[in-house]
């Protein structure tokens, strides 16, 4: 019975641990560099060049940077 309770505690803590670990890995220097590259690439796209700091561009670039961080982590 004690082992089952311990298993439940571990299973409950696992998602938070994974999230925390990915968060730390996503903030490494390599992940941040990749995120900056993705952000600048998205800003430089032809269809965004007329307004590289507009809301649509910032949203797309931020999403690309977040995806790059997750991929690198």
Which has more pLDDT, 12 or 63?
63
Task: In whole angstroms, give the CA distance from residue 15 to residue 13.
Answer: 6
Question: Residues 3-45: pLDDT tens digits?
Answer: 767 767 767 766 776 666 566 666 678 888 888 888 888 888 8
Q: What is the DSSP string of 9-40?
A: HHHHHHHHHHHHHHHHHTTSHHHHHHHHHHHH
């Amino acid at each position: 019975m004690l082992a089952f309770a311990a298993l439940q505690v571990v299973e409950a803590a696992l998602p938070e641990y994974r999230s925390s670990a990915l968060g730390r890995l996503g903030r490494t220097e390599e992940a941040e560099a990749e995120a900056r590259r993705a952000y600048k690439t998205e800003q430089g796209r032809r269809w965004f060049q007329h307004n590289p700091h507009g809301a649509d561009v910032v949203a797309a670039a931020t999403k690309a940077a977040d995806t790059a961080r997750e991929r690198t982590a």
